[in-house]
Structure 1
Amino acid sequence: MDHSEQNETSDKKRVTKTDILRDFQVSFFAMSRLVSFPWTFLEKDLASNKSSDLISDILKQTCLHSLCRKFPPSVRFRRLFLSELIRREAAGCDPLDELYDALAEVVGAEDTTECYKSYLLPSGDAVSLLESVALISEGTTGLVTWEAALYLAEWALDHRQTFTGRTVLELGSGVGLTGITICRSCRPNRFVFSDCHRGVLQKLRTNVQLNGLTDRTSPAVSVEEVDWTAATEEQLKRIGADTVIAADVVYDPDIVGSLVQLLSRILSCSSPGVLPEVLICSTIRNPETYSGFKLQLEKAGISHHVIAGPVSHVFPYSRPSAIELIRLLR
C-alpha cells in the first residue's frame, strides 16, 4: 500500500469514527432507546485495539459534554447508558477512571418527573426541551415530543422557503420542537406557538425561553392559548398567519370535529385571494380516526394533498411509523 492509499484508508477510518461519535451523541441527547445505539462498532473497536480511547471520546460527546451539564437527560437514562459502556469496557480493555466517575455522579442522584431532551440541528445548534418522563402526564400527551413533530421539523429543514419571511401559527405546539426548529433554522418573520392545556402552555413558554426566543428577538415569537372550540375570527385575523402547521393533533376522535371547524375558520377568515398554507402532519396510529378526520375535512369543503417524498434524517426516532403530511386546500 503506497502513502496515498494509507492516507485514504486513514481518512475513511476518521470519517467512520466521526460518524459513530455523532450517532452516539445524537441518540444520547434525544434519549433514544439504548438498543438503537451503535454498540457493535464499539465492540469491534475494543476487540481490535484493546484501548479505551473510543469510550473516552464517547464520554466527551455525551455525559461530559457541556450540553449535558446544562441540559442533562434523565438520571435513569444516564445511569443505564453508563452501565452499558462499563459492561463493554470490562470485556475489552483496562478500566477508565472517568467512566466510573461519571457513573458515581448519577448512582445516588434522585430521579425526577421531568428531564431535558436535546435535538441536534444540522447547523450544530441544539433544540433543548424540558419534557415529562411519562408519555401521559397531567392528563395530556402534550408534554413530550412525538414522531410527527420530528418529521415535520425535518420537512421544514428541507423546505425552509415555506416559512422564510412568513407569519406562522402552530396549532397544538406541545413542548415546542417543531416550532423552535423552524424559528432557529427557517427565518420566519413571526411565529405563534399555541395550545390550550394550561400545563402544556407553561412548559411551552419555558422551552421557548430556554432556546433564546422572545417577542424581542428575530423572529418575534409568542405563546398563545388557542382553544379550538372557542377561537374567534377576531383572534385568528389578529394573528394573521401566512402558514399554519400542526403535528400529531389527529389522534382523538372526540376532538377531530373541533379541529376541522377551526381549520375551516382559519381558511375562511384569511384575506381575499390569499389563503394561508396549512400543513398537518400525523402519525397514523388509528386508521379509522385518521380516515374520519379526512372525511370531516371533505364535508367542510376542504380538500387535501398528500406531500410525499423522502425527508433528510436529522433526528432519531422510529421511522417505520406511518407518518403522513398533508396540505389543505379550499
Structure 2
Amino acid sequence: MESNKFDKLRQQFLCCYPVNKMAWSTLHLPLELDEQRALIAATCGHPLNQRFPVRRSYQEAFVKRLMHVLKDHDELHDDIYDSLCGQLAKTSLDAAPATSTYAYKHYMLQSEEHITLRESNSFVSEGTTGLCTWEAALALADYLLEHPNQLQGKNVLELGAGTGLLGILLKHKALKLPVGQVLVTDGSNACVKLMHDNISLNFDDASEEATPQCAQLRWHEIKEFPWSKYAAPDLLLAADVIYDDTQFSSLLAALDFVYELRGNRCEMLLASTVRNVDTLHTFMEQLELHEYQVTPCANVSACASHFCRDHTAAVQIVCIKR
C-alpha cells in the first residue's frame, strides 16, 4: 500500500535521523509525481510535523537531499519545491532567535503511537547537555522494550533524565509495560522544566499513577531529597551520565545513599556511549571499590531496534548490583 511505502523514511524524518544515513535505498526510482507528493506528505507534511515541527535546518537538509536523489527525474512535484521554499522563507523571516531555540522530535512506536519531545537545537544549552536526547537513552529504551520482565512491578528512579524520554516510554499507555511508579530526575532546573513540558505533551489529563513523576535531584544534595513523597525505588536508570569524571564522586555518593536506603535491594541499568574508554574504565573501577557488582548487558541489534538510532555509536549497558 502507498501509505506504507515510505514508513521508514517517515520514521527517520520525524526523529531527525541524520539525512546522509537515511534509507534512501528503499525508494524505487524513478518516482512518479503522485509518489513524490506522497513522500512529502509522509514527511514534511505529516500531521505531527505540521503541529510540532522538527527543526527548520533539518527539514531544509532533508528536502535538498531528496532533490539530489531525484536529480535525474524530468519533473519534480511542486510540493517538494514548496517545502524547501517554505523552510527558507521561515528562516529568513524569523527575526527573533529565541523562537528557534527549541524544536521537536517524534519517535514512532507501534502503529501510529509515538513519543513527542521538545528538545534544544544545541548540544549545550542553558549550562547543560540534557536538553536533547542522546544515543545511550535510545539504546537503553530499546533494551527495556526487549526485556520488559526487568520492569515487572518495579518502581523506577531515573538519574540525569534530560528530556524525559525513558520515563515517558515506561508509562506510555499503548506499551502497557509492567512498571510501578516512575520518577524522572535531573540536577538541572532547565531539564526539569523541559521534562514537565514533555510529560504534558505526551499524557492528556492522565492521573499521577499513569504518568511519570518529575523532580529536581542534585546528586550532592541527595540526602535532602523528599524521599517520603515517592515510592522506594527498585530499579535505577541512567543514560550518558558518566562522560565527566569530575561528577564521579557525587554520582557514586548518590548511588551509595539510594542502595543503603533500600538495603541493597535494588539494581541499576547504566547506559553509556563509549567516547573515552579510559573514562568509562575509571568509573567501573570506582564501582568495584564501592563494592558493586557490574554485569554487561547485551545491546539490541539494529534489526530488532524499536528506534531509528545510529548503531555505529558504541553504547555499553551494564547492570549494577550490590
Q: TM-score, normalised by structure 1?
A: 0.86
* One of 80, 93, 109 as aligned partner of 2:61: 80
Q: What is the one-letter code of the residue matched to 2:285?
A: L
Residue 280 of structure 1 pairs with residue 274 of structure 2: no
Q: 1:106 to 1:255 in 2, by over 3 A?
A: same
- Partner residue of 1:69? 50
- Runs (5+) with no aligned partner, structure 1: 1-13
Q: What CA distance in whole angstroms lies between the structure 2 residues aligned with 1:276 and 1:215?
A: 28
Please give the secondary structure, in 2, of the residue aligned with 1:296.
helix
Map 1:107-256 to 2 at 5 A. Answer: 107-110=88-91, 112-184=100-172, 185=175, 186-212=177-203, 216-232=207-223, 235-236=226-227, 238-239=229-230, 240-256=232-248
Q: The residue matched to 1:189 in structure 2 has which SS?
A: strand
Paired residue secondary structure (1:229)? helix
1:30 aligns with 2:15: yes
* 1:276 to partner: Cα distance: 1.6
- Residues 106-137 of structure 1 deviation map (CA, whole Å, 9 limit, x = unaligned): 22113612110111113431111111111111
The unaligned stretches of length 5 or more in structure 2 are 95-99
* Compared CA separation, residues 85 and 308, structure 1 to 2 (3 A): closer
CA contact (8 A) 1:188 1:219 kept: no
| SS of corresponding position for 2:212 | strand
State the secondary structure of the residue aligned to 2:138. helix
Quote the RMSD (CA, aligned, Å).
2.2
Distance 1:31 1:291, change over 3 A: same
SS at structure 1 position matched to 2:221: coil
Q: CA deviation at 1:93?
A: 3.8
**Mean alpha-carbon deviation: is it higher for 78-87 or for 59-68?**
78-87
4+ residue runs over 4 A deviation? 17-20
CA shift in 2, pair 1:310/1:317, >3 Å: closer
Q: Residue 118 of structure 1 aligns to a residue in which SS?
A: strand
Tell me if the contact between 2:236 and 2:266 (Cα under 8 Å) persists in the aligned partners.
yes
The letter of the residue matching 1:107 is L
Query: How far does residue 158 in structure 1 lie from its aligned partner after superposition?
Result: 0.8
Which stretch has the larger CA shift, 306-315 or 238-247? 306-315
Structure 1 CA distance, aligned partners of 2:80 and 2:160? 41
Query: Could you report, residue by residue, the CA deviation over 1:263-303 in whole angstroms, capped at 9, with x for unpaired residues?
Result: 11111111x5x712311111121111111111111111111
Gap change, CA 1:158 and 1:18, over 3 Å in 2? farther
Partner of 1:262: 254
Query: Larger radius of gyration, structure 1 or 2?
Result: 1
Aligned-pair identity (%)? 28
- Compute the displacement of 1:237 (Å): 5.8
- Farther-moved stretch of structure 1 (136-145 vs 163-172): 163-172
| Conserved 8 A contact 2:139-2:299 | no
Distance (Å, rounded) in 2 between the aligned partners of 1:62 and 1:52:
16
Equivalent position of 2:97 in the other structure: none
1: CA distance, partners of 2:184 / 2:164? 8
Equivalent residues of 2:36, 2:76 under 8 A apart: no
Retained in 2: the 8 A contact 1:260–1:293? no
Q: Deviations over 1:66-96 (max 9, x none)?
A: 1111211111111221222234445214231
Q: Which amino acid aligns with 1:290?
A: L
Size of the alignment, in residue pairs?
A: 309
